[in-house]
Amino acid sequence: MPWDASENYTVDPVKVAVLGAGHAGRGLASYLSIHGYDVSLYNRTIANVKRISKRGGIKVQGLFEEFAYLPLVTDNIAKAVEDRDILIIIVPAQAHTFFAKSMVPHLKSGQTILLMPGRTGGALEFARILRAQSYPDEILLGEAQTFSFVSRITGTDSVLISKVKNSTKVSAFPASHNRWFMRSLRRLPITFNIADDVMETSLDNIGAMLHPTPTILCAGLLESKEGGYNHYHDAISKSVGRLVERMDTERISVSREFVSQPVSLLEWLRNTYDAEGTTLRECIRSIDAYDDVGSPSSLDHRYVMEDVPTGLVPISYLGRLAGVETPAIDTVINMACQLYDLDFWSSGRNLRSLGLKGLNPNEVREYVRTGAMPEEYSGLHEISDVFGLEVDDI
C-alpha cells in the first residue's frame, strides 16, 4: 500500500531509529527509507546486519522493488538514537527490558518511543523500568497493538514486504498523552488509529491467539520435519481453530473489564486483512498475505517463546485481577511449560512487572489514563502534564 500524502500525514522532516533488524524491523526500515525518511537501523549483533551495512541498505521485494538506503547500520545504541525524533522498537517483547535500560542514558526530551508491538503490557513494563532510572520528562512513550507489515527476510541484505496492514492501533502511556503521541506518529507514512489506552492495545494481542497454540499442537511435525508447512493454513485446522476461538472468547471476557469496546479475533482479521468467513479457519484461508508464510523450523521460536510469557501469561494474570477465569488460555500455558520444561508463569509478565500489583480494575483504568497511582489521584487536578495541558484536556 503506497503512501498517499493526502492521508493526514504531515510533511515535516523526521528522523527515525528502527531498533531491531529482524523480519519486521528490516521491513519497516526499508519502507520508511524508500519513502524518503532518514532511518538508522540498530541490531544488538552487528554480524547479523554486516552485509546491510556494507551495501548501505536493503534490497526490497514484493510490494516494492527498490533499494532502501540506510546510511547508518549499527550495534551502538547511542549512535542509533542520537538526534532521532521517533524511536521504534521492533523486537521480541522479552527484549523490551534490555532496551528500556540501555536507552535511558541516551534519550533526549522531545523524542517519541513506540513499541511495535507492545504485546500485552509492553508500555506498562517499559514505563516502570524507565521510572526506576533517571530519564528526560518530555518523552512520549506508547505501543502498537501489532506490526504494521507482513515482511520476511529473504537474504542477508534483502527483505520481502508482502502486506502493509490497513491500519494499526496505538496508544500512549499514559493515555492523557494520546494527542501528542498521534501528532508525532502522523509524521510517518503508516496509518495509525488511536486506541483509548494501552489496555486496549495490550488486550487486543492477536499474536497471542494465532501463534502459540498452533505451534504447540504441531510440535511433533515441526520437530520431525523441521517445519516446512504453512503456519496459518496448515497448523490452524478446524479443531485447532475452535480451540483458538475459545481462547479468544476468554480474552474478550478479560478485556471487557478494562476496555470499552474489545475486538474479537475474527473482527480484527476482517478489519485488517478484509478476511471473509464465519470461523477462524475460513477467515485465515481467505487472507492472501498468509499464503507464503512458512512455519517455525524449531520449537525455539518467538511464536511460543515470546507470545506465551508476554502474551498469554499477562492476559491470564489480568483475568485473575478482574475475577475472570481463563481455563483454555491456562491450559495452553501449562502445555507450554511441560513441553519446554520452562516455568512461563514465573518468567512471564505479571502484575508486579507491569506496575499493577495491588490495583483493582477501576484503579488500573485510571492508572493507564493518567499515569498516577491511587495515592496520587487527589492531586491530579493541580498537575499540568509535561506538554502543557491539564491531564483531563484529552
User: Hey, how many other C-beta atoms are within 10 angstroms of the C-beta on 388?
Assistant: 8
**Pairing relation of β-strands 72-74 and 38-42?**
parallel
Question: Annotated catalytic, 23?
Answer: no
Buried b (16+ CB within 10 A) or exposed e, 79-98: ebbeebbbbbbbbebbbbee
Cross-strand bridge partners of residue 155? 158
**Catalytic residue of the set 23, 96, 211, 301:** 211
The enclosing H or E element of 200 equals helix 198-203
Per annotation, catalytic residue among 85, 157, 197, 307: 307
- DSSP SS3 for 221: helix
Q: Are 291 and 329 in contact (CB under 8 A)?
A: no
What is the distance between the alpha carbons of residues 38 and 14, in angstroms, rounded to a whole number?
A: 7
Cβ proximity of 85 and 15 under 8 Å? yes
Q: Which three cell numbers stand for residue 284?
A: 485465515
Burial string for 339-355 (b: 16+ CB within 10 Å, else e) reads: ebebebbeebbbbebbb
> Cα(122)–Cα(373) distance, rounded to whole angstroms?
18
Contacts of 379 (CB under 8 A, 6+ apart): none
Residue 230: strand, helix, or coil: coil
Using an 8 Å Cβ cutoff, are 225 and 145 in contact? no
157 is catalytic: no
248 Cβ contact partners less than 8 Å away, ≥ 6 residues apart = 209, 264, 265, 266
Q: Which residues are catalytic?
A: 211, 307
